[in-house]
Structure 1
Amino acid sequence: MGNAHSPPTDPQYVSSSRAFTQKGLQDLRSLFNSLASQSQSNGKFISPSVFQSYFKLHGPIGERMFDLVTQERKDQKLTFEDLVITKATYEKGTKDEIEEFIFRLLDVSGDGFVGRSDLESVMNAIFTNMLCKEGSEFGSSSHQDIVNIFLNAANFSIHDENCTEEAMSFEDFRSWCSHLPTVRKLLGSLLLPPDSGRPGTQIPNLLTPKDIDSNTVLLRKEYAWHIGGALSQHELEDWKLLYHSSVNGLSFSTFLGNISNHKGPTVLIIKDKDGYIYGGYASQQWERHAEFYGDMKCYLFQLNPKASIFRPTGANNNLQWVKICFFRIF
Structure 2
Amino acid sequence: MGAENSKRKASPKTAFKKRVCSFLNLASPTKDISAQTIERAWKDKLDSELFAKLQRVIFKSHTAISFESFADFYYKLVEGTVDDKASVVFSIVNPKNEDCADLSALQSYVANVLNTLVNLHRGSKEFSKWNDIGRPPAFYSCDNLALYITKDMPESFALEKLENWYNGNAIFKRVSDYVYQSAFSVYEDHRTFIPLPVQDALVNIKGTTILTLGDILFLNSALLAENTVKWRLLYSSSVHGQSWQTLCKCILGQGPTLIVIEDEHNAVIGAFGSASWRLSPSFYGNDSSFLFALRPQLSLMTPTGFNSNFQYINSGAATLPNGMGFGGKLEYFGLFLSSDFGKGKVSNSCTTYNNFKLPNDPKDFDIKHMEVWGVGKPDPTPEELGERRTCLDQDPTASALLEMAGKTMHSKDLRQAKPEDEYLENCSR
TM-score, normalising length: structure 1: 0.67
Corresponding residue of 2:137 = 141
CA contact (8 A) 1:151 1:306 kept: no
Note if 1:319 corresponds to 2:314: no
Deviations 1:43-94 (A, max 9, x none): 2354444445546335342344456678x79674254466457645764525
For the pair shown, which has the larger CA radius of gyration, 1 or 2? 2
Where in structure 2 are there 5+ consecutive unaligned residues?
Answer: 320-416, 419-429
CA distance in 1, matches of 2:14, 2:97: 36
- Residue of structure 2 equivalent to 1:114: 102
Shift of 1:204: 1.8
Residue equivalent to 1:229 = 221
In structure 2, the residue matched to 1:100 is 86
Distance 1:36 1:167, change over 3 A: same
Task: Give the Å deviation of 1:294.
Answer: 2.8
1:281 counterpart = 2:272:
yes
Question: Following the alignment from structure 1 to structure 2, what is the Cα–Cα distance between the partners of residues 285 and 80?
Answer: 55
- In structure 2, distance between residues paired with 1:278 and 1:183: 23
What CA deviation, in whole Å up to 9, does each residue of 1:15-55 have, x standing for no partner?
5228x9xxxx55422212334564x9952354444445546
Q: Which amino acid in the other structure matches residue 116 of structure 1?
A: S
Identity of aligned residues (%): 18
Residues 242 and 89 from structure 1, CA distance in 2 versus in 1: closer, same or farther, beyond 3 angstroms?
closer
Cα 1:108–1:304 change in 2 (3 A) is farther
Q: Structure 2 counterpart of 1:225, which letter?
A: L
| C-alpha distance 140-89 of structure 1, shift in aligned 2 (>3 A) | closer
State how far apart, in whole Å, the 1-side matches of 2:157 and 2:135 are. 26
- CA distance in 1 between counterparts of 2:106 and 2:193 reads 24
Q: Distance in 2 between matches of 1:300 and 1:98?
A: 35
Superposed, which structure 2 residues align to 1:12-51 within 5 Å? 16-17=9-10, 25=13, 27-35=15-23, 38=26, 43-51=30-38
TM-aligned CA distance change 1:156 to 1:193, over 3 Å:
closer
Greater strand fraction, Structure 1 or Structure 2: 2
User: For 1:185, which of 170, 174, 181 is the aligned residue?
Assistant: 174
Q: Which residue of 2 aligns with 1:241?
A: 233
Question: Is the 8 Å Cα contact of residues 115 and 168 (structure 1) preserved in structure 2?
Answer: yes
Residue of 194, 199, 206 corresponding to 2:197: 206
Q: How many residues align structurally?
A: 299
Q: Residue type matched to 1:17 in 2?
A: A
Cα displacement (A) at 1:260: 1.6
Where 2:107 maps in the other structure, the secondary structure is helix
Q: Report if aligned partners of 1:185, 1:200 keep a CA contact under 8 Å in 2.
A: no
Q: CA deviation at 1:276?
A: 0.5
In the alignment, which residue of structure 2 is the partner of 1:215?
Answer: 207
Q: Give the match's secondary structure for 1:185.
A: helix
Q: Secondary structure at the match of 1:202?
A: coil
With structure 2 as the length reference, what TM-score do the two structures score?
Answer: 0.54
1:268: how far off?
A: 0.7
Structure-2 change in CA distance of 1:29 and 1:52 (3 Å): same
Instruction: Spell out, residue by residue over 1:200-241, the C-alpha distance to the aligned partner (whole angstroms, 9 max, x if none).
Output: 873222223552353342234442232112235553333221
Work out whether residues 269 and 277 of structure 1, in 8 Å CA contact, stay in contact via their aligned partners in 2: yes
* Cα distance between partner residues in 1 of 2:189 and 2:301: 24
Structure 1 partner of 2:246: 254
Q: Is the 8 A contact 1:130 1:201 kept in 2?
A: no
RMSD of aligned alpha carbons: 4.5
Q: Does the CA-based 8 Å contact 2:258-2:272 persist in structure 1?
A: yes
Does the 8 A contact of 1:114 with 1:167 survive in 2?
yes
* DSSP-derived class of the 2:179 partner: coil
Q: Return the alpha-carbon distance in structure 2 between the equivalents of residues 17 and 90 of structure 1.
A: 14
Q: Is the 2:58–2:65 Cα contact (8 Å) retained in structure 1?
A: no
Call closer, same or farther: CA 1:200–1:225 in 2, change over 3 Å: farther
Gaps of 5+ in 1: 1-11, 159-165
